[in-house]
């Protein structure tokens, strides 16, 4: 080969290798992976770049969408071809083709150009499918059991059979219930979602699910079977032993749309002609558990050819069609499984299984015995001081599953329409010896993608992070509940708002919160008052507590900052504004000092308060702070949405709110009328004080903490901001002392006591192993887990930049301390993986940073002035991809593009 030919070949190979270094992956539609059942008219499309070269930015993209995988890969008969679009946007490009139709399947891929002149290959294809976009697309009618309902409300079963004369190309099942449902086609479960249709504000919005089910159908006879449970619709939910919150009926709506290979279609609809009966589930309640009698199983009931001659018909019903909405968030799915850690007998003689982790879900059990043998599984979070099974903190919730054997060999049991919060299970009536292989605990939670991790050299902090994440898993069960075990399990708005920012680090919670916030707006009263719980089952007067109702403003803003999708703000703006206007309407001279408020819930109260050390904070001082904060967030939101006039008007209101705070709650010398940690934390966090009073207020906060022997005294509303405020005003060392404190009250005290989730109370279990008041003592309650945000932001050093949200611009600013030898975190942002890890040994420091493609970062290197800072062995000033910005607050700031960097000093 001639030299010129060799050179040409070399250049071609080099060009191919360079192109291969730029790839596109992680395609998402509406923040979901390959979603089925969307009702967004122009779905948002997102992707991530992977590039070997540093400082890589997207300069253009091209999207193509087709109706089949074959057409997509050939690039022909496309639904939409964007052409090359010069844009850096890779998170949130709306579909721009012709209007989409109900049930339409779309296949898409993308390629990009970068700032180095490279073009990527086309990505692997992704897909989405539309739901039913118009109420008139529903041809099915609601059906109810045709028999007189027996006592105990056993689960109804519905079935029908149908013939398919031709081969099936595609089939879509749309289904929902007033209650809970499990659908089967030809004996096989449709989908892997549980506790469907989930919990929404049913009187306003009822979700339905969409399943692709062609693989479950066959030519010839087919059958559908659906079983229902009471669920949130008519089961016991809330307080005062109340059921039928949304109605006493239990009903099914189902529509199966089949397309044959010749293009013709067939519908199978719920309606007259279906059959109904009861089966093995004698009763199911979310709080009390489920009872199954295997002697009553109707074998083959969802198969064609089953003899249903003894079944009843059905009744049809009519409910408003406009209430139906397509599910927009991840369903509840089975997640981790746990084998028994130990099986033991308590001092009281109880047979108990310890699964080693406080989780939410249920137990799958195998047993072999005589027909009629009755096995009861009771669930508990903790053992008492003597080591006995403890359920007093469950209050009225029985939390028991009862299984009655048929006597037909080895039988497997698991619930369908309930869930439990537990670590321990008491087993009664089991025939034979309890063996580990016969029991398995299954965790259930909304199937959100894990995104964040934190690790450091202190094993107690690592366990704290574990507990925070498992508190989130157990309580993110379609709605953000306060607790998963007792007779409550409600979407308390205060708990959700204090934890939302931490939640957005641990998991991709965009779709989860977008769905729940729609229900918040739907349940919001006409005057703007926001309920204590969402969905609201406590009544129209359970409203408008400061710090709880502010979920209406705080969560949308936090989610927008974390994910960068301004549609969250567009969706919630009217709700945000209505809540601020409610507070204004209840104020006199801009002072909101009326109404009921929970205040700084579960703040520190010593058992013996002879010296007045209980940390009581004036509830109206708290209310004024949140009034200001919600107004500030409304101003920011109005600015993002281009509502300049409203931003200016609310800016004037904010000035008046802060002035009223100063008049009412601050002495001329700058002391607050409540001298608690929470009072100073909120006043400083929300900028309620003028600049010249902030330093002395922060000093008073620090002195207060030290006066309690370096312990926090904050409750639900003060705790989330405590370490942030200390760090902001130069007391990071004190924040670390609080974080590492391991005696009551502290974050690590429950860890030292063996907790595997976050407790509701700082002292849920006391040092002598006795318990706090059983009337309110959950051992799985994520609110105090809000410290997780500070661990990610300050200890690991990863945070978003509000000016370029969604981690389009990243802030890396770790604060080494706490005698840690290393700490770090990772976050799968909308643009890819962010990593920050620092280590310290013998006076030498190392900071490893990873920045994903198509983003930029500001990095604060915590090196002392005069230190020689190197990046990969070179002085930072000589590294081409870094821009040294100088020293800021005892750190060296450098700006960087994408890539991996290793700083040492």
Q: Hey, is 251 helix, strand or coil?
A: strand
Cβ proximity of 543 and 531 under 8 Å: yes
Choose among 361, 344, 453, 372: nearest CA to 401.
Answer: 361
Helix (H) or strand (E) segment spanning residue 655: helix 644-665
* H/E element, 504: helix 493-506
Inter-residue contact 82 to 64 (CB < 8 Å): yes
Report the alpha-carbon distance of residue 810 to residue 445 in Å, rounded: 30
Instruction: Say which residues have a Cβ less than 8 Å from residue 297's Cβ, sequence separation at least 6.
Output: 279, 280, 406
Residue 339 C-alpha from the chain's centroid: 26
What does 359-410 look like in DSSP terms, one character per residue? EEEEEEEEE---TT-EEEEEEESEE-TTS-EE-GGGTT---EEEEE---SSS
What is the C-alpha to C-alpha distance for residues 33 and 26, in angstroms, rounded to an integer?
8
SS3 (DSSP) at 101: coil
Structure tokens at 491: 């979407």
**Residues annotated catalytic, as ranges:** 488, 760
Please report which residue ranges of 389-487 form alpha helices under DSSP H. 459-475
Q: Distance of CA 518 to CAs 31, 186, 555, 582, 610, Å? A: 16, 36, 12, 19, 47
Q: Which of 262, 261, 233 is nearest to 247 (CA)?
A: 233
Phi and psi based region of residue 729 (left: phi greater than 0; alpha: psi -120 to 50; beta: remaining): alpha
Tell me how far apart the alpha carbons of residues 334 and 332 are, in angstroms, rounded to a whole number: 7
Q: 535 preceded by cis ω (within 30°)?
A: yes
CA–CA separation, 97 and 334 (whole Å): 36
CA atoms within 13 A of residue 648's CA, in its CB half-sphere: 4
**Beta-carbon neighbour count of residue 570 at 10 Å?**
14
* Cα 488 to Cα 126: distance, rounded to the nearest angstrom: 40
Tokens 């927009």 correspond to: 328
H-run or E-run covering 811: strand 809-812
Distance of alpha carbon 555 from alpha carbon 493, whole angstroms: 10
Q: d(Cα 424, Cα 342) in Å, to the nearest integer?
A: 10
Place of tokens 């101003």: 635
Helix H or strand E encompassing 640: helix 619-640
- DSSP result, 18-40: HHHTEEEEEEEETTBSS-EEE--
């Amino acid at each position: 080969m001639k030299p010129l030919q060799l050179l040409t070949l070399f250049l071609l190979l080099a060009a191919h290798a360079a192109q291969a270094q730029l790839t596109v992956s992680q395609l998402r539609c509406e923040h979901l992976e390959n979603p089925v059942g969307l009702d967004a008219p122009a779905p948002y499309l997102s992707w991530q770049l992977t590039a070997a070269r540093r400082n890589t930015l997207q300069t253009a993209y091209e999207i193509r969408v087709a109706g089949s995988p074959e057409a997509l890969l050939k690039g022909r008969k496309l639904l939409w071809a964007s052409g090359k679009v010069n844009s850096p946007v890779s998170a949130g490009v709306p579909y721009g083709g012709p209007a989409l139709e109900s049930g339409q399947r779309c296949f898409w891929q993308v390629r990009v150009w970068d700032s180095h002149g490279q073009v990527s290959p086309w990505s692997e294809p992704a897909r989405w499918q539309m739901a039913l976009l118009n109420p008139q697309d529903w041809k099915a009618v609601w059906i109810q059991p045709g028999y007189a309902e027996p006592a105990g409300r056993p689960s109804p079963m519905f079935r029908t059979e149908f013939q398919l004369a031709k081969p099936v190309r595609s089939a879509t099942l749309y289904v929902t219930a007033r209650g809970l449902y499990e659908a089967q086609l030809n004996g096989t479960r449709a989908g892997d979602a549980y506790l469907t249709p989930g919990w929404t504000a049913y009187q306003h919005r009822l979700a339905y699910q969409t399943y692709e089910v062609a693989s479950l159908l066959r030519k010839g006879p087919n059958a559908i079977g659906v079983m229902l449970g009471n669920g949130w619709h008519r089961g016991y939910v809330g307080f005062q032993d109340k059921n039928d919150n949304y109605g006493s009926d239990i009903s099914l709506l189902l529509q199966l749309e089949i397309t044959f290979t010749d293009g013709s279609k067939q519908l199978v609809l719920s309606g007259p002609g279906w059959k109904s009966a009861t089966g093995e589930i004698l009763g199911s309640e979310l709080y009390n558990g489920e009872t199954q009698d295997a002697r009553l199983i109707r074998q083959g009931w969802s198969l064609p050819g089953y003899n249903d001659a003894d079944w009843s018909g059905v009744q049809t019903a009519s409910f408003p069609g406009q209430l139906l909405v397509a599910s927009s968030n991840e369903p509840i799915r089975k997640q981790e499984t746990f084998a028994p850690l130990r099986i033991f007998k308590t001092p009281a003689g109880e047979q108990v299984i310890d699964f080693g982790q406080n989780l939410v879900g249920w137990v799958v059990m195998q047993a072999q015995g005589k027909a009629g043998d009755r096995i009861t599984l009771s669930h508990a979070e903790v053992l008492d001081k003597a080591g006995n099974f403890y359920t007093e903190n469950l209050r009225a919730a029985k939390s028991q599953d009862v299984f009655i054997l048929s006597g037909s060999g080895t039988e497997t049991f698991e619930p369908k329409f309930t869930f439990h919060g537990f670590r321990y299970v008491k087993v009664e009536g089991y025939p034979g010896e309890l063996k580990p292989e016969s029991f398995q605990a299954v965790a259930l939670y909304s199937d959100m993608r894990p995104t964040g991790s934190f690790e450091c050299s202190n094993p107690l902090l690592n366990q704290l992070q574990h507990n925070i994440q498992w508190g989130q898993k157990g309580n993110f069960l379609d709605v953000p509940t306060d607790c998963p075990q007792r007779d409550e399990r409600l979407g308390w708005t205060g708990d959700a708002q204090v934890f939302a920012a931490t939640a957005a680090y641990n998991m991709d919670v965009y779709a989860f919160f977008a769905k729940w916030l729609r229900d918040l707006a739907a349940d919001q009263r006409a005057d703007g008052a926001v309920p204590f719980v969402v969905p609201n089952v406590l009544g129209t007067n359970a409203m408008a507590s400061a710090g709880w109702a502010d979920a209406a403003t705080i969560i949308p803003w936090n989610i927008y900052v974390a994910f960068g999708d301004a549609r969250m703000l567009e969706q919630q703006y009217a709700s945000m504004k209505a809540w601020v206007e409610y507070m204004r309407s209840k104020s006199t001279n801009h002072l909101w000092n009326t109404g009921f408020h929970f205040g700084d819930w579960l703040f520190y109260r010593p058992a013996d308060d002879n010296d007045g050390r209980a940390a009581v904070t004036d509830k109206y001082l708290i209310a004024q702070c949140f009034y200001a904060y919600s107004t500030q967030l409304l101003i920011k939101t109005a600015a993002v949405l281009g509502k300049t006039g409203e931003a200016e008007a609310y800016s004037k209101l904010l000035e008046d709110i802060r002035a009223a705070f100063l008049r009412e709650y601050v002495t001329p010398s700058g002391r607050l009328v409540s001298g608690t940690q929470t009072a100073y934390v909120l006043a400083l966090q929300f900028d309620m004080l003028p600049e010249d009073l902030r330093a002395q207020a922060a000093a008073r906060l620090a002195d207060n903490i030290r006066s309690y022997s370096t312990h926090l005294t904050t409750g639900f509303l003060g705790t989330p901001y405590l370490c942030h405020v200390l760090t902001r005003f130069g007391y990071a060392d004190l924040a670390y002392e609080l974080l590492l404190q391991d005696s009551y009250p502290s974050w690590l005290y429950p860890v030292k006591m063996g907790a595997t989730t976050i407790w509701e109370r700082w002292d849920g279990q006391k040092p002598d192993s006795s318990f706090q008041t059983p009337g309110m003592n959950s051992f799985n309650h994520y609110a105090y887990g809000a410290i997780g945000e500070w661990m990610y932001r300050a200890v690991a050093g990863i945070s978003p930049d509000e000016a370029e949200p969604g981690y389009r611009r990243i802030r890396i600013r770790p604060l080494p301390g706490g005698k840690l030898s290393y700490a770090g975190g990772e976050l799968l942002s909308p643009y890819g993986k962010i990593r920050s890890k620092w280590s310290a040994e013998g006076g030498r420091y190392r900071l490893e940073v990873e920045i994903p493609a198509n983003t930029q970062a500001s990095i604060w290197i915590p090196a002392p002035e005069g230190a020689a800072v190197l990046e990969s062995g070179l002085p930072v000033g000589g590294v081409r991809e870094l821009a040294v910005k100088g020293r800021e607050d005892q750190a060296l700031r450098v700006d960087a593009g994408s890539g991996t960097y290793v700083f040492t000093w």
